[in-house]
Structure 1
Amino acid sequence: MNQLEKAEQLYRELVNIQPWNTSYFDALNKVLIKQKKYDSSVSLIANRLSDSPNDITLYGMLGSTYYMSDQIELAHESWEKGIKTNPTLYVVYRVIANYALENRAFEKAIEILTLGKSISAEKEMFSLDLANIYTASMQYKKATEEYCDLLRLKPEQIGVVKSRIVSYINRQGASEEILQVIRNYINKFEEPLFLELISYCYSLVGNYDAALSYIIKYESQTKGVGTHIFTLAQELYRNRQFKSASNAFDYFIRNFRDSPLLSVAKISHAKTLESSLDQKNEVLNVDWKTFPKQYKFNKDDYISLIKVYQSLAKEFHYNSISIEATYRMAEIYMNRIYDYQKADSLFSLIIDSGTFTNYAVLANIGKGKITIKKNQLTEAFHFFNQALLNDKRDPTNISECNFFLAKINFWQGKFFEAKNYFNESLKNLATDFTNDAIEYSVIINSIKKDSLNLHRYALADLFMFQNKLQEASIKLKTLAENDNLFLLNEFAKIKLAEILISNDDFFKAADLLENLSEDKNMAIFRDKSTFLLGLVYQFGIFDSQKASLFYQKVLEKFDNSLYFDMARELLNGIITKNGNK
């Protein structure tokens, strides 16, 4: 006797002792089904039905047994008998339909739920159930019709409907069916809610102009105050759809002049124009570099943008919009036009007028970076320290300030103090400074006894921040060519590779990095070298196939690497892009 037979015998004894115990009854039936003793299961359930003829679960179980034994007609007949026990109670239809679903009898489940929906006052429950089944069986048109029917009954379910549609809209052939159904409902019923829904769906499939057009119609029909247009504009901005976001903000500004959101919309519109301009000038294609050269932007475009911010600072001089607009101007002068004097004066204005805002923190950080470029390290230390003392600092600000305070000490040869500040920066591992802080800490811990050469390396590092790449190269080559310098010459080689990248000498950089990545004596740098190779081939040489190989190598060989997550993200981006071609 095998284990299932023993279980059957045991459960039969228990059922005889406690015939009222449904747990024993269910367990016995499951054991019979596992042994494919379908006749015994039918007999067991039929006997129980003779005592409880109105128990709908028994009809459901009986139908399941018949279905598993390929007696489809008897299965359907059993389920239908279950419904007839109480045909006016909506829960009966849902219970029996669930048994059909467990057996993947989708069409029968749909038939049962449709019948239940027709007689029930609680139609919304059936719409959700039916929509789920239609989605599972790839009948997207019917699923969407059920959701639209649900919205006609319960408009407050719009959030639920959106969350359900987003789960299948990107499946093959689904989007057009969804959009066509909603268009039909818009034409058939004068209910603005469908305008909101179709706008959302168009946004999901990337047709942002249509999304804006329909949400404008929605606001018009509901006599709204533009909130939905504003929300769409913000969403488009977050998704880097700057042109469409700009159009949405522009429409809002022109048509809702009395809105309390007007000032936010105007500054957001300006930031959208700035992001669009950055995108146009391919800023993103240099930001991957550790030390990007000063990029030659179209100065006139940014001057025009500064005038927009100037106008906003004047118009909203009484609130925080003025401070934000001033900060944006300072950032443009510092990072796009490279007019450090004007940037510095604007940062000073922010510190004076917005002391109790986070922009004062950012302004001190900005002034600190400018004074470093001027080689005024003591003054720079003061500005970062002021930012750190400001109560409006956030966790990222704290990490950045500690990181730069550490680097200033490092550049000044104060290695013990630098190490302490790097440790403070590393208390928050979720920032962009983590990898570099760890690297500098390793340098200090490993080479602190050779303070003379460590100071030479620190000076080269300062030159790199100041964009004095030629001076930095001279210092680094001296260190890189000295094989007697434990670790330091390897650090110098990595920096030299980064300088080659900054100078767009990508093939030389690739050669150097490949040597570093294959040198087994340099285990500490192999993951970084491999990751940098991926960046060089992806963004410098534009060979995404080869870049993928290096990112994959990081994932396969360096699963504990600090660059693991970034490599995976970049690799997934390449795969997604190639898949969409």
Structure 2
Amino acid sequence: MRQQIIAILLIFTSYFGFTQNSEIQAESYYKKGEFRKALIIYQNLYKEKPRSLKYVDKLIDIHQQLEEYNEVQNIITTQLTKKRDPELVVALGYNYQLIDSLDRANELYEEAVAFAETKPYYVYTIAKKFEDYSLLDHAIRLYEKGKSNTIDRNYNIQLARIYGDLGNVEKMFENYIEYVEYKPNYLSNIKRAISDFISENRENENNLYLRRALLKKIQQQPQPYWYEMLSWLYVQEKAYSKSFIQEKALYKRNPESLDRIIDLANMARKDNDDDTAKDIFNYVLETTQDKTTAVTAHQYILEIDTKNADKKMLIQIDETYQKLFENYGKSAFTIPLQLAYGKFLAFNKKDTKAATDFLKESLKLDIRYYRKAKIKLLLADILVLQEKFNEALIFYSQIQAEMKNSTIAQEARFKVAKTSYYKGDFDWAESQLKILKSSTSQLIANDALDLKLLITDNKFEDSLQTSLKLYAKADLYAFQNKIDDAISLLDIILEEHKTENIIGQALFQQAKLYESKQQYLKAEANYQNILTNYGEGILTDDAKFYLAELYNTHLVKPEEAKELYEKIIFEHQDSIYFIEARKKFRMLRGDSIN
């Protein structure tokens, strides 16, 4: 008996394996357009399993691909004599449509629709069949009927998708909004679904549709999810102050957490909407009872104030830091604030001694290794700022030893390489950068690869490595915020090393420095120089993107920007700028879909 069971199992397994292999082979032929070969296999499979609708559908499809409409009619008619399946009724109607028998096709479509009316639970399967044949008007009719006839089922998602395909964005939004009302927990999914149909341009027609619909909902039925959705729309438009109004309304309804409001403030801050960011952080200070949240808000306000502060303002900011330390103390709890202050002293007040003394005191606190590593990293950066390279390398190396394989250890290794590069020790820098190419942090890996390519491409240009040393020194000046000195050094490279590979890099780096000084016409000239004279180099897509951004953001030349974005789309599909360029191009072209 046991042997018989094993034999049956072996037969079943081999049969299943044979069937699976046959299906794979048939599908392969189908995808290659070898319909006759696929047809033979599916006919054999159908003979073995004549009740399988999967094989029936395949046979119908292949015969229609071969324009053998009579064969299709025979297959479907045979099936319908067994059972009046409404999906097959739709398929038969479509077959009549293909041979221009539209009256007969419409009769069969109406039969399928009537079937769904009597048996509402078939709405989805029949409507889906209409969708498969791109008979979208019939699918819409069925889903709309289903909405009214089956109270326990919802077809807004299906309708929204079809209306989106048809370009009827207003009806699409209407159905997505109805679905949010039906299932508020799906709000995140709905936001993802509609994100492709709106843009940063608040005057975009689709944005206007959605905004009007949401404002109307808030007036009629002020539920939290409408405020959240409207806030999200304003964020897409970078209208952070308007989003803040919605977030405050949400918080007043449910004052449990300020996380959403803090996230909004950070988005505004990163997008350089400093006034709104400060307004939000001040609101957080007025509202929160949590010390950590308050300290973080204070820190970000000070960092925003520091951006364009004059000497008098820097003194006031320093005093504010001191008051905060008096109020909250210097402990593990305030380490982020201490790091911010150390950076402020070194990079803004230019008082590197005070900064290093302060941070060395912070290191004496009873804190975990990670926080100590963050302090050491900043300390080392400040030592590089002072050109005390060997002392900086000691701190970076300590971080690598104490925090092995962590992201901060990889960051420290990259800074070891960068410091060695500043010193002119290009071989050691290159050896460290090779290790970092496989860093778990994509940002570190990309930076490491860029620096390695710079060194590798230029270190053999001359035996003294003069141009590369000048470039590294200019890089150091840029880090030290000595922008004019950096630009002057790059000028020397451009004048005295015209035949060397590094010229393209020097032009690009100098263009970015010009942008930081708001000397946009000089930056434009550099980017144009790269595209005209070094158009085959690795910086081509970088120059095109940065120049496009310059035209789009500062020089108000939207047509020139659009042309450059388009070139990235069609000529640099593997560029890191591809997705952003496509987004900006569509927005400038005025597409309704972002």
Please confirm whether the aligned pair reaches a TM-score higher than 0.5, indicating the same fold: yes
Give the residue type in structure 2 aligned to 1:330.
G
Residue 331 of structure 1: SS of its match in structure 2?
Answer: helix
| 1:156 equivalent in alignment to 2:168 | no
Cα distance in 2, alignment partners of residues 232 and 512 from structure 1: 34
Residue 88 (structure 2) aligns with? 58
Distance 1:11 1:156, change over 3 A: closer
In the alignment, which residue of structure 2 is the partner of 1:406? Answer: 420
- Cα separation, 2, equivalents of 1:490 and 1:11: 61
Amino acid across the alignment from 1:149: E
Distance 2:41 2:493 in 1: 84
Residue among 197, 210, 219 paired with 1:178 = 210
Offset at residue 94 of structure 1 (A) = 0.8
Say yes or no: does 1:187 pair with 2:219: yes
Q: 1:9 to 1:430 in 2, by over 3 A?
A: closer
Change in 2 beyond 3 A, CA 1:14/1:315: closer
Q: Which runs of 5+ in 2 are unaligned?
A: 1-33
Q: Is 1:301–2:313 an aligned residue pair? A: yes
Aligned residue type for 1:51 = K
Q: Deviations over 1:516-551 (max 9, x none)?
A: 98599xx9xx54599679869986996979999999
Higher RCO, 1 vs 2 (CA within 8 Å, ≥6 residues apart): 2
In structure 1, the residue matched to 2:76 is 45
Whole-Å Cα distance in 2 between the matches of residues 66 and 512 of structure 1?
60
Is the 1:4–1:35 Cα contact (8 Å) retained in structure 2?
Answer: yes
- Count of residues paired in the alignment: 538
1:352-371 Cα deviation digits (max 9, x unpaired): 33753545334334433444
Report the Cα distance in structure 2 between the residues aligned to 1:145 and 1:32, rounded to whole angstroms: 40
- TM-score, length-scaled by structure 2: 0.71
1:292 counterpart residue number: none
Q: Letter of the aligned partner of 1:317 in structure 2?
A: G
After superposition, the CA RMSD in angstroms is 5.0
Matched, 1:394 2:420: no
Residue 207 of structure 1 pairs with residue 239 of structure 2: yes
Instruction: Say whether the 8 Å CA contact 1:501–1:509 is kept in structure 2.
Output: no
Q: Select between 130-139 and 543-552 the one with higher mean Cα deviation.
A: 543-552
Structure 1 window deviating more from structure 2 (144-153 vs 267-276): it is 267-276
How big is the shift at 1:228?
A: 3.4
2:303 matched to 1:274? yes
Q: Assess if the C-alpha contact under 8 Å between 2:524 and 2:550 holds in 1.
A: no
Partner of 2:476: 465
For 2:265, the equivalent position in structure 1 comes to: 233
Aligned residue in 1 for 2:451: 436
**Structure 1 segments unaligned to the other structure (5+ residues):** 282-296
Q: Contact 2:508–2:526 (CA<8 Å) still a contact in 1?
A: no
* SS of structure 1 residue aligned to 2:353: helix
- Pick aligned residue for 2:347 from 332, 335, 340: 335
Q: Secondary structure at the match of 2:197?
A: coil
Which deviations, in whole Å up to 9, do the C-alpha atoms of 1:280-316 show, x marking residues without a partner? x4xxxxxxxxxxxxxxx62333444444444444433
Select which of 279, 288, 291 maps to 1:247.
279
For 1:221, which of 253, 261, 267 is the aligned residue?
253
Q: Displacement, 1:113?
A: 0.9
Q: 1:97 to 1:499 in 2, by over 3 A?
A: closer
Q: Name the CA shift for 1:84/1:144 in 2 (closer, same or farther; >3 Å).
A: same
Counterparts of 1:493-512 in structure 2 under 5 Å? none
**Which amino acid letter does the alignment assign opposite residue 133 of structure 2?**
N
Post-superposition offset of 1:345: 2.4
Identity of aligned residues (%): 16
> Conserved in 1, the CA contact under 8 Å of 2:433 and 2:449?
no
Separation (CA, whole Å) in 2 of partners of 1:457 and 1:426: 21
CA contact (8 A) 1:97 1:108 kept: yes
- Aligned with 1:350 (options 357, 362, 368): 362
Task: Give the Cα separation in 2 of the matches to 1:237 and 1:231.
Answer: 10
- By how many angstroms is 1:321 displaced? 4.9
C-alpha separation in 1, matches of 2:502 and 2:231? 53
Shift of 1:416: 5.9
